[in-house]
Each structure stands twice: as C-alpha cells, then as structure tokens.
C-alpha cells in the first residue's frame, strides 16, 4: 500500500477545515476510488461529447439562425480555442484550491452554458456561450485527472486512466451518432440541452462522493504574469492554426501570429525561471518520460484528429451516408477504444508503457496507411477493418501517454500535468486539422484542373475553379442547378476522385507522423511519482 501524501484539511485563507464537504460523511462511499472514477467520468463525458456532437448540428443551426459559413465555423473554433488556452491555468487552479471544487464548478458552468446555448436565438449568443463551455470544460478536465491521481494507488492508476480514456474515446467517437439522432428526431437545441441533466447528475454525485485531497506542498500563490504570457502564446498559436486554412500558410498574418506565439512562449519560459511559485515549473520537462509523453500526445492527436476529420466527409459526401449511418460506420473505432482502453491499462501496469505505446502508434500508422487506400468503391467490411485497427492503436496511447505525463509529475502539480495532457491533445488536434487540411487543399488544387480537363468537361474560369476546389476539398461535387445528368455524373466522378487523392495523401502524412511517434514511445517509462497516489483503503 502506498503512503498517504494528501491531506483532507485546508490551510489559512481557504475554506474552514471543518467544512462538512471535506469530511467523509458516508464511510465506504465518500472518497471511494471506483465511485470517484464513475463520478468524474460522467462530467468528462459531457466535454468529450461536445467536441464532436455539435458538428452534426451545425447545418441545422446555420439554417435556423441564418448564419454564414464563417460564423458556423466559430461554433467549433470558439469552443476549442477557449479550451486549449485555459487548460493549464485551470489545472493550476485545481492544484491551488482543490480538484473537487474546480471539478464541481466546471460541471455547473458547463451545464449552464449548454442550457443557455439551447435558449439562444442568435449565432452571436451561440458562439459566446460556446466559449464559456470551453472555459468551464477546461476547469473540469484536469480536475478529473487530479482526483484520479489523488484517489488511486499506483497499482490501480493505469486501470483507472484506462477507463477514463475509454469514456473520452467513446464519447468523442459516439458524438456524431448521438448528434445525428437528436438533430434528426428532436432539434439542434437538444444537442445542448442534453448536458443539463447529465450535469445535474455529475454535481449530485460529486457533492455526495468526491473527497477533496490536497498535497502537503500545494502551491499557495498565483503566477499572474505567467498565466497572461502562456494564455497569450497559446491563443496566438491556436488562432494561427485555425485561420491558416482561410488566410493561407504563406500569408503574413499567419506567420505574424506564429512569431508572436513563439515570442510569448520564450518570455513565459524566461519568467518561469524567476518567479517563486511558477505556473509550470520548467524542471518538470527535465523528466524525459514526461516530455516524451507530451510530444506523444501531440503526435497521436495529429494523426487521429486530422485523419478522422476527412473520414466524416468521405462517408457522408462521397458514399452519400446520412449522419447517423456515418456514425454507425465508425462504431468499430468506438468499440475498439471501449474494449481496448481498460485492457491497455492492465497491460501497461504489467509491462510498463513503452511496448504498449510503441505498439499502439504502430497500429495507428498501419491503420492510417490502410485508410489512404480507401476509394469510392470501398465496401463497409474493409472500412471497418481499418477503423477497428485505428481504435485498437489509439487505446494504449490515450491511456499510456496520460499515465506517463501525470505519473511523472509531483502530486502537487497533478492538475498542471492534467492540463498539459489535455492541452497537448487540443494543440495536436488543431495542428492535425490545419496541416492535413493544407495537404488536402494543395493536392486538390494541383489535381482538379487536370482531372477536369481529362474528363472532357467545359473549362472553368479562375473564380469558378477556386469555388470548385473549395467544394471538392470536403467531397462535394460542384454541380450547378440545371446541369444535364450526363455532365453532372462526370463532375461528380471528378470531384470524388480528386477528393480521394487528397484524402489519400493526407492519410499517408498522418501515417508518417504516427510512425515517427513509435520512436518517441521508447523514451517513456512508468511514472516516477505514481507512488505518490493516495493510499486508497477502499479499493
């Protein structure tokens, strides 16, 4: 049994030590590790679902509120921007004030913002409350990991993180299915209203079950300038990645925001060496395994999020599937993540993280290579094979990289470590979508004119070609109303073939990223500080 390194009382300036919420009122239930895991999983499920479920609702929101395409993009971009910028700072708040408090605050705020979106009657309000969702989601996610780290002993932590990763993976992959059902059979508002009862359940369980653990040497002050510098640097980086497809990678504005981001990170790193209690002690990154875990999480997200971005267009716009059918075709991916995550946790506990992580990234690379071979005639069976292999590869990486990051950080920085893990995943996802999107756009631009001419179609003006290229990048044939059926069929064939060539190249790039991540996986090792987990006597 590991040693007890947390305290259940507060220091001067915090809430009173006798606060009933910090004392076990129901022995065997309050602070019980597995009930704690169930509670945080309910809250985390809301945030993970909202990363993908809203994409299905966007067309209905656009029609109902009369929004432009750019405005609808900000329904997603505003959420991810707020989430990515705030995660590390939110983790620090949990380390300072207690992960129980920040988790409950995040759940309440997220559910309230979700309800407000459902009641909104303008696109401006929807985007505003989506930003609030991102901010409160940032409070919730690192706090969940901090609670697991404090509650589970070392020998059970991998299994707990495995189940936690299973919830995130299943929620992320299952979002399009649930979103399709709700939008098709209820309305787009229901996609957001569903978070309200889930939030009420999570808060009820949290007040009843969660126990506030504090590390003995938890931070007592805030690094305000560090928070400002890191937030500004993260904002400029994510903003550049979001806007690069619109501005162009060679545009001066893209590089200006990139340069400001690099400068911001540099100033942040310098300041962190001077402040008494830094936001992120840079000594954390002297741990090669922790640094490798962060890099691995970024690379995994590039391959996964970037590759999956095109698959949804492939299923719906090339194969003509409905949102629900497209979601059902991704069930092999979801299912393998659900099955594989707990198994990966057990495997990592027995073997350590290196072999499972390297094997997982190798499976991911093979799956992405397989997805590069998909074409307009590929059947469901072959698609399912590659999707299942992708889920099988992602499961150990999601679990193992998280354990490596959180387990190699001191207990008093478990919230910051959780924030690092989530921030790495968000940045990787943004990078994957932006970079692979640029690869797709470049390939479509280079191939479309030649394919169009080879099919014997009437020549396009430069403006028409630009519009056609934009449509083809998401698999939509640029068929004008009134076009004869024979010509429309040729245009459709050209559009789909050109889209497939772009998706194939993007998938190969993702496969290369995953293959490179195999080498990074060998730099990881079991968390040096994992034994600092609470001696959870209830297990």
Spatial contact of 113 and 61, defined as CB atoms under 8 Å apart: no
How many other β-carbons are positioned within 10 Å of the β-carbon of residue 480?
A: 9
Question: pLDDT digits over 284-298, tens only?
Answer: 788 888 889 889 988
Instruction: Kindly report the CATH number that applies to the domain delimited by 21-212.
Output: 1.20.1250.20
What 3-state DSSP class applies to 7? strand
Q: Judging by DSSP bridges, how do beta strands 6-7 and 214-215 pair with one another?
A: antiparallel
C-alpha radius of gyration, the chain, whole number: 23
Q: How far is CA 522 from CA 290, 350, 392, 404, 527, in A?
A: 12, 16, 19, 12, 14
Among 182, 222, 254, 7, smallest CA distance to 96 is for: 222
Sequential pLDDT tens for the chain (539 residues) = 333 333 343 333 333 333 333 434 444 677 788 888 899 888 888 888 877 777 777 778 878 888 766 677 778 778 877 887 888 888 888 877 888 889 999 999 999 999 999 999 888 899 899 999 989 988 888 888 888 877 887 677 777 877 877 787 777 767 777 887 888 788 888 989 989 999 999 999 999 888 876 655 555 667 788 888 988 988 888 788 778 777 877 888 989 999 999 999 999 889 988 888 787 778 778 888 888 988 998 898 888 776 677 887 888 888 988 767 877 888 888 788 888 878 888 888 888 889 999 999 999 999 999 999 999 889 989 999 999 999 889 888 888 888 788 777 777 677 777 778 778 887 887 778 778 888 888 898 889 989 998 988 888 888 888 888 888 887 889 888 888 888 999 999 999 999 999 999 999 999 999 999 999 999 988 765 544 443 333 34
Among 295, 289, 237, 229, smallest CA distance to 81 is for: 237
Q: Which CATH architecture has domain 287-534?
A: Up-down Bundle (1.20)
- Could you give the CA distance from residue 390 to residue 372 in angstroms, rounded to a whole number? 13
- Could you give the CA distance from residue 21 to residue 16 in angstroms, rounded to a whole number? 10
């Amino acid at each position: 049994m590991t040693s007890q390194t947390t305290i259940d009382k507060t220091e001067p300036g915090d809430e009173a030590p006798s606060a009933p919420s910090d004392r076990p009122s129901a022995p065997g239930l309050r602070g019980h590790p597995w009930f704690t895991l169930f509670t945080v999983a309910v809250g985390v499920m809301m945030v993970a679902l909202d990363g993908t479920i809203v994409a299905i609702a966007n067309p209905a929101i656009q029609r109902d509120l009369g929004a432009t395409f750019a405005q609808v993009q900000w329904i997603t971009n505003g959420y991810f921007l707020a989430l990515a910028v705030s995660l590390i700072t939110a983790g620090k708040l949990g380390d300072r004030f207690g992960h129980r408090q920040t988790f409950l605050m995040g759940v309440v705020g997220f559910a309230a913002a979700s309800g407000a979106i459902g009641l909104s009657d303008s696109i401006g309000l929807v985007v505003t409350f989506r930003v609030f969702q991102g901010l409160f989601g940032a409070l919730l996610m690192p706090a969940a990991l901090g609670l697991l780290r404090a509650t589970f002993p070392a020998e059970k932590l991998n299994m707990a993180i495995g189940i936690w990763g299973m919830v995130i993976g299943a929620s992320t992959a299952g979002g399009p299915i649930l979103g399709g059902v709700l939008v098709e059979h209820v309305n787009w508002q229901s996609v957001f209203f569903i978070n309200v009862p889930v939030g009420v359940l999570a808060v009820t369980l949290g007040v009843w079950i969660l126990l506030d653990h504090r590390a003995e040497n938890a931070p007592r002050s805030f690094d305000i300038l560090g928070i400002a510098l890191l937030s500004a640097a993260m904002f400029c980086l994510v903003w550049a990645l979001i806007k690069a497809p619109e501005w162009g990678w060679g545009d001066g504005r893209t590089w200006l925001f990139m340069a400001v981001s690099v400068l911001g990170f540099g100033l942040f790193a310098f300041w962190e060496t001077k402040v008494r209690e830094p936001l992120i002690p840079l000594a954390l990154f002297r741990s090669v395994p922790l640094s490798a875990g962060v890099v691995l999480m970024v690379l995994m997200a590039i391959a996964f999020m970037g590759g999956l971005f095109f698959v949804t267009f492939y299923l719906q716009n090339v194969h003509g599937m409905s949102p629900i059918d497209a979601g059902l075709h991704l069930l092999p991916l979801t299912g393998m993540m659900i099955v594989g995550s707990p198994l990966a946790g057990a495997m990592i506990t027995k073997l350590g993280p290196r072999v499972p992580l390297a094997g997982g990234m190798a499976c991911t690379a093979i799956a992405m290579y397989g997805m590069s071979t998909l074409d307009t005639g590929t059947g469901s069976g072959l698609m399912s094979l590659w999707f299942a292999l992708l889920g099988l590869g992602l499961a150990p990486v999601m679990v193992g990289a998280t354990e490596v990051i959180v387990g190699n950080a001191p207990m008093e920085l478990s919230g910051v470590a959780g924030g690092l893990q989530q921030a790495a995943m968000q940045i990787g996802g943004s990078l994957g979508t932006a970079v692979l999107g640029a690869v797709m756009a470049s390939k479509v631009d280079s191939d479309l004119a030649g394919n169009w001419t080879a099919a014997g179609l009437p020549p396009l003006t430069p403006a028409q070609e630009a519009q056609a290229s934009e449509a083809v990048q998401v698999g939509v044939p640029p068929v004008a109303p009134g076009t004869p059926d024979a010509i429309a069929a040729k245009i459709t064939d050209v559009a789909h073939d050109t889209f497939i060539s772009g998706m194939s190249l993007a998938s190969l790039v993702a496969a290369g990223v995953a293959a490179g991540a195999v080498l990074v996986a060998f730099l990881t090792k079991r968390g040096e500080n994992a034994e600092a987990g609470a001696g959870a006597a209830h297990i």
